[in-house]
A = this chain, B = another copy of it.
C-alpha cells in the first residue's frame, strides 16, 4: 500500500520542494497542492504539483498524507481548522520551523490520540528564498529532517512516510519538541537574528558605500544572503519560540559585552579558548 497521493498545503519554497522531491525521489504518483490560485497556477506550470485546489478541506480528500507547509502560525491554525475534517486514515504532518506550539495544538485538537494522527516534522534546509519558483527537488539532499513524535504509537502511514522522506536523501533525527525548539533557537534562530542585526547595522553605518561590497568578500555575501530571508517566516518563528530566542539573544549580548570590555586584556584569550572548545 504505497503512498499514491500527497497533499501539500502551502506551495512555497519548502512546500514546492517537498512536492518535487517526493515525486522525483520517492515516486509519489500524485501531488495535490493547496495555496492561492496564482501560486497554484505557477506550481502547475512548473510541474511542481499535479493538481491544485484553493480549499484546504477539498485538497486533502483522497490523500494518504497531508503536509502542512505554510509558516508556523498558519500551520497551527490549519491543525485546528482542518484536523477535525481530515479522516483518521490520513497522516497529517508538517514542516514548520518550531515544534512545541504545533504539538500543543495537535494535542488540543486530537486529544490522547494526537500521536496517531499527527507527526511533527522539520526539514533543516532552505530558508532565504520565498516562492515556488525556487522549489528544488534536491533541496533536502544531505539535510537533516527532524521529527518530534507526540507519542510512541504512530499513524500506520508514519513509517511509510518516513521512508519516503529518507529517500529524499535526508537523515531523520527524532527528539522531543521542547529540546527541538531550544536547539533550533541556538543554531538557527539566533544566527538569523544576528545576521539581521549585523545587516541592519551595516546599512546604518555604510549605506550603499561601494567599498563595503568591494572588500566584503565571502563573509558579506553570506550576511547578504541570510539577511534576505523573509520576515513572514521569521515573524511566526519569533512568536512561537519567543522565550528560547530571547534567552539565546540575551546570553549572546552579555558575551559580546564581555568581549568588548576585554579587547585589551587577557580576558579575550579566555573567550577564544572557550570558543575553541567547540567540537574538540
| Chain A residues within 8 Å of B, Cβ to Cβ | 124, 143-144, 146, 171, 173, 175, 179, 183-184, 186-188, 190-191, 193-206, 208, 211-217, 219-220, 222-224, 227-231, 234-235, 238-239, 242, 245-246, 248-253, 255-260, 263-264, 268-269, 271-280
Q: Residue on B with the closest CB to A248? A: B201
What 7 A-B pairs are tightest by C-beta distance, nearest first?
A199-B275, A231-B272, A197-B255, A249-B260, A200-B274, A227-B275, A238-B263
List 5 other contacts, CB 8 Å, given A143-B217, A197-B271: A186-B201, A186-B206, A196-B271, A222-B222, A245-B260
Mostly, the A contact residues are helix
Cross-chain contact B211 with A175 (CB below 8 angstroms): yes
Chain B nearest Cβ from A100, distance in angstroms: 15
Cross-chain contact B242 with A278 (CB below 8 angstroms): no
Cross-chain contact B275 with A263 (CB below 8 angstroms): no
Which residues from chain B contact A188 at a C-beta distance below 8 Å?
219
Given contacts A124-B215, A124-B217, A211-B173, contact A198 B252 (CB under 8 A): yes
Q: Residue on B with the closest CB to A243? A: B263
Given contacts A211-B183, A212-B187, A269-B231, contact A196 B263 (CB under 8 A): no
